Copies of this chain bind each other. A is one copy, B any other.
Amino acid sequence: MTTEALTVRDLGQRARAAARVLRSLPTARKAAALHAIARELRAHEAVILAANARDVEAAQAAGLPAHMVARLRLDAASLAAIADDVEAVSGLPDPVGERTPEQTLPSGIRVRQMRVPLGVLGVIYESRPNVTVDVAALALMSGNAVILRGGKETVNSNAALENAIRSALASQDLPEDAVQVIRDPARERMLELLRLDDLVDAIIPRGGAGLHRYCVENATVPVIVGGIGVVHIYLDESFTRDPADVERAVQLIRNAKVQKPSACNALDTLLIHAGALSALPAIARALITGGVTLRADPPALAALQAAGVEAQPATDADYGTEFLALTASVRTVGGLEEALDFIAAHGNHTDVILTRDPAQAERFVQDVDSAAVMVNASPRFNDGGQLGLGAEVAISTQKLHARGPMGLRELTTTKWVVVGDGHVRA
């Protein structure tokens, strides 16, 4: 049956019923479901690509920018890669059922905590059909039902993907309502999902700052805010004494900014020790070769101009700003403490120190209050795959529940289990 005629509340109720089945499934059945999904995606290839072609055509007719059309487009190779990713998720360790050691307390009761799925997830994202499948796979493998609300440009693709996923679930005698797509792209439907707090356990937005803000402002369901934030690298003078270190700094900062400028873990602001400014021209040249525009404060600008390297003067608006593009700001600081004050005012996502002084590194790790704090490593490592989680559903930059990349474990919660023999509280 399709979900087209159902209200969002109907979807929520069906998801909750499905979640009750999912939460007790053994790992092997969840893994089998993911393999079935991969098979169905391959089997439905023609239908999915035809639906996607309709979305691409409509997007082009509507004048969607080329990079957004590119994100939206599927072909046989990308669909096959999506199916492979689903199979990879099936092999990840299952956190559900983990138990803390049982303790017998002075009252005589035996207590432990047991890891269980969150229940029903609402995931809101942009026009990326691969996310539909990724999120469905991660939700199922962690024992959760999921309601998906993708961008309006992907309605046909998502409907085709949902059909493939649901027929896979049915083939495994699992509730099809474990994965449901909100097919009506109207914003009111999204708002209904955000306010379904008696049925949905968490909202995970994936997208830009505007989407996150909309969710935070409007949701009564708890929201996990993520992926928004400014990334700093502080380059200390101690990391520029050895020419080999300067070269490391050049490569690392280039990697941080140029590898994927649209990523949330890409560099925004380079904080440079005044005593390290001699290394700046080499760093700037590597960035500029990668297409980066630099906006520098007066001391940094002077150092660049003296070396004949082009940069723009920075304004206040260039600090504390997430660029998500080939732009970076540079700020000169007198030392570590000034860098830490700057990061305390502007950071929360990923912050890096490049230093050869272990005491500085320790102070940086202790003081910086961000989702990921790094010493002599590229901020691009703040990613579920890179940090060993196997996969990620989002990168949380808030502090409650999960911080940093969210894998299967971050899609679970715990419950207390208490066993007595007629024990009463004194």
A: residues with CB less than 8 A from B are 20, 23-24, 103, 105, 107, 109, 111, 113-114, 116, 118-119, 197, 201-202, 216-217, 220, 222-224, 245, 248-249, 251-252, 255-256, 259, 344, 354, 361, 365-367, 369-378, 380-383, 386-388, 398-401, 403-404, 413-425
Contact = CB atoms under 8 A, between A and B. Distances in A.
B373 A417 contact: yes
A251 B424 CA distance: 7
A197 B216 contact: yes
A417 B386 contact: no
B422 A118 contact: no
A400 B221 CA distance: 10
B378 A425 contact: yes
Contact of A416 (B224, B387, B400, B414): B387
State the oligomeric state as a number of copies. Answer: 2
Contacts of A374: 417-420
B366 A24 contact: yes
A400 B216 contact: no
19 contacts: A103-B388, A105-B387, A107-B381, A119-B369, A249-B422, A251-B424, A365-B417, A372-B418, A375-B417, A375-B418, A377-B418, A377-B419, A377-B420, A378-B420, A380-B424, A382-B416, A383-B425, A403-B413, A403-B416
A118 B400 CA distance: 8
Nearest to A255: B424
Contacts of A420: 374-378, 381
Contacts of A365: 114, 417
A14 B410 CA distance: 32
Nearest to A383: B425
Contact of A378 (B220, B249, B423): B423
Contact of A201 (B378, B399, B422): B399
Contact of A369 (B23, B109, B113, B376): B23
Nearest to A368: B415
Contacts of A378: 420, 423-425
Contacts of A372: 415-418
A422 B251 contact: yes
Given A399-B118, A400-B401, A425 B224 contact: no
A267 B142 CA distance: 32
A17 B327 CA distance: 30
A344 B116 CA distance: 15
